[in-house]
Amino acid sequence: MSVSTAAAAQSVCAPLPVLGRDVTVPLVTGGEVAYAALDYAASAPALQRVWDDVAAYAPYYGSVHRGAGYLSQLSTDLFENARRTVAEFLDCRPDDQLVFTRSTTDSLNLLARALPADCQVFVFETEHHASLLPWQDARVTYLNAPRTPRQAVETLERALADRDPYGPALVCVTGASNVTGELWPVRELAAAAHAHGARIVLDAAQLAPHHPVSVQDLDVDWVAFSGHKLYAPFGSGVLAGRADWLQAAEPYLAGGGASRKVTRREDGGVAVEWHESAARHEAGSPNVIGAYSIASACKALTEAGFDTLVARERQLIDAVRAGLAEVPEVRVLSLFGDDAPRVGVISFVVEGWNSSHFAAALSAEYGIGVRDGLFCAHPLVRTLLGSDPQSQGECGAPEAAPGEKSLNAIRVSFGAGTPDEHVERFVTAVRELVTDGAKWSYRTEDGRCVPAV
């Protein structure tokens, strides 16, 4: 292998630089260790590229839209260029509208507010609460958890076939589960929705950081995701897709920026003419730094190449799954089975351990940050754990309802910024905890399992 070829191979395997990679944390057993951030599914660390771009812009920060000053005009250009960059990242259609929001949750609540009258909504019980709960004011059909991708399509087809064919309908589906990491058959579900006269929105919160998302290729009507899961933690999200329902709906928030013209009426009230552009649902001062950070992350991921990122992540997934498979007490949670394609999100339970206790030991004794609980996907986790959850341990689960303290799981998640060493340390830690037990004692404090002092 030539020097240039070897360097290229090394760069392909290297994680993307993220903030926090040099942060050390104390261990209850003494000393410090570099923190292993393995909770990407909740919030991914900021890419160094994103941080540098934001820092370079920060001195030029100004109000967005309508300002006559140079910094205002520069910030407005930056904001609108960010909109175009993200639309390109998502491969939006020419007439699609892209609205900057606060998060995936905010995006889907915005779409829920824009539903036409008497719209029927179809959503699987396996969704994250962000895509499960916003539709409560509509006619909602909750679909049971499928056990194969084919069953998911068939379940949706049956439900749509039984609906009123003359009214509007919307299907909401995740691209990748925030619990199991499994990829959903989005393209096939979109085809089923359109065949029955329905539209479809894709919750891409867990998909976009790991795989390319093409609105046109997947043939979805809308896509929603969050910046903080895409290595851009500055409080911004995206809803992109068909403009007609958004233009016909009352503004999500009423206020400056959403209004084009406001006049007094003769009866003493005010008459408002709302924008028809994305500004209609972006009232208030836009989060230009949040939008810019998302655009920066989109550029960084595109330049790194998703083929390379996906290939490396598969290696990490295989390493974690192989390591967990060597511990008989560990049960990995899955809807679609071991062979299902997935992103770097894996949930599991350990026989004889309460999951909160196990996660606390990973943090306190190994410097590893994971997630425990029900992951804002309570119906799905309850389905996966079944009627015989693990035995209750020393510490309770903060998300569980009274009487269900043992009903919780552990989630490890990773991505483009995860070093190999973090995954290796995690696998070793699981094996040691199961074999030797925790080195420290733990107690419950304010619903959390913490080291006893």
* pLDDT tens, residue by residue, 131-154: 999 998 899 999 999 999 999 999
The answer to whether residue 156 scores a pLDDT higher than 70 is yes
| Best CA proximity match to 199, nearest among 155, 162, 238, 243 | 243
Give the mean model confidence (pLDDT) for residues 48-66: 94
Residue % of the chain over a pLDDT of 70: 93
**Sign of the dihedral through C-alpha 195, 215, 206, 248:** negative
Q: Minimum mean pLDDT among 103-112, 240-249, 382-391: which range? A: 382-391
Q: How do residues 355-389 score in pLDDT, each as one tens digit?
A: 999 999 999 999 999 999 999 999 999 999 985 44
Residue 202 has which token pair?
Answer: 């894709």
Give the mean model confidence (pLDDT) for residues 391-415: 65
Residue % of the chain over a pLDDT of 90: 80
Q: Which DSSP helix (H) or strand (E) runs through 425?
A: helix 420-436
Residue 165 is predicted with a pLDDT of: 79
Task: Please give the angle made by the CA atoms of 64, 70 and 288, to the nearest 5 degrees.
Answer: 25
Q: How do residues 201-241 score in pLDDT, each as one tens digit?
A: 999 999 999 999 999 999 999 999 999 999 999 999 999 99
The answer to whether residue 394 scores a pLDDT higher than 60 is no
The answer to whether residue 9 scores a pLDDT higher than 50 is no
DSSP for 119-173, written as a single string: -EEEEETTS-HHHHSTTTTSEEEEEPPPSSHHHHHHHHHHHHHTS-TTS-EEEEE
Question: What secondary structure letter does DSSP report for 214?
Answer: -
Give the mean model confidence (pLDDT) for residues 187-200: 98
Residue 401 is predicted with a pLDDT of: 52
Q: Is 92 a catalytic residue?
A: no
Confidence of residue 406 (pLDDT cuts 50, 70, 90): low
Q: Minimum mean pLDDT among 11-20, 78-87, 351-360: which range? A: 11-20
Active-site entry in 172, 376, 395, 449: 376
| Best CA proximity match to 414, nearest among 210, 262, 192 | 210
Confidence of residue 29 (pLDDT cuts 50, 70, 90): very high
Chain centroid, CA 416 distance in Å:
14
Q: What phi-psi label fits residue 232: left (phi over 0), alpha (psi between -120 and 50 degrees) or beta? A: beta
Residue 257 is predicted with a pLDDT of: 84
Distance, in Å, from the CA atom of 241 to the CA atom of 239, rounded to the nearest integer, reads 7
Residue 398 has which token pair?
Answer: 């903060």
Question: What secondary structure letter does DSSP report for 230?
Answer: T
Residue 282 is predicted with a pLDDT of: 82
Residue that wins the pLDDT comparison between 370 and 406: 370
